[in-house]
Structure 1
Amino acid sequence: MNLLVFLIPAESGEKISYAITVLLTFAVYLSVYSDKIPPLSLPIAVFSVSLLIKLCTSCLIALCCIVISKVIYHDEDRRIPFRMQQLTSCFLRNRKIGNMKKPSQKDSTTDVGTQSDEHEAGSLKRDDFLGRKVTWKEVADAMDKLCLVFFTVMSTVETVVSLTIIMNRH
């Protein structure tokens, strides 16, 4: 359920509240479980460790949701760093990272007249190689997708390791 938070649109305002609700659910579940196990059990229960890892993961997911919500409401006049533009363009549009050019690079297929001279030297241009702007909303969408993939893999690995340990103990 924790991973579903990355499918909720950030504009709805429910993303952070859902993440915190799931975090609190894990915290309550862990506290109820810890009341039921013996206080001085020498071998630590794998289930306890698994719940603690899920609680920590839920904290990270809530933190990521807060960062993504902050990114989506950035002022559109604020420049998006070039590497972030590349990664967003690559992740959302399946383009190769090498296709985007820094403003200092000349490309024979790029119309020099369309490039803006308003950016000072050394800054990165905001338009990608097709002239389409990468927006902060697109950056937030790419971060959502990246977090969904990362935390899905992390959750799967944690579950497989926990189940393997449990199966080898019996």
Structure 2
Amino acid sequence: MQTRMFESAAALGRRLWIATLLWVIGRTLCRAARVDEAVRQELAPLPDGLTIRLEVAGLNQALIIHKAAGNWQCGAQPHASGDLHPLRVRFKHQGIAFRALSFRLGVNQAFSENRLLVEGDLTVAMHLVRGLEQLQSLILPAFIARPLLRHYPAPTNKLGRACNIYLGLVTG
């Protein structure tokens, strides 16, 4: 009985951690697309009206970002029924999502190992992956980011850029 309670508490903790990380990644990605040139360049070619939904199998929470008037915003669009270009990316298992969102498995590796389902334009998904890689190279310490990324770009003025991005978590 006690083991079952521990397992359910651990599962609840994992679900809460995944939901929190989805929120953090969504807000930092939207902020970085506004204030950082490297992330902006990766996401700029994507069309206005694009809605990206990053979700995890078995969880109700999802990261939803959309591009409107050239700006990335978190949350569903006010006119969500008319999504022009939807993209849905779904982690097939909560354990994989937990590892990827906790920065122990690279998103590009999860993508290449078919641990994600992609519904929509694959080119858009690749832009998203590259944008996430740029974001990781900025907000994570190099010793964490290097093993996750195919190519670590060694960004200049990393601390200032990361602080500017993290400021978006507080200010919106």
- Asked whether the two chains share a fold, i.e. TM above 0.5, the reply is no
Superposition TM-score, scaled by structure 1 size: 0.26
Bigger Rg, which one: 1
**Higher share in helix:** 1
Higher relative contact order (CA 8 A, sep 6+): 1
**Higher share in strand:** 2
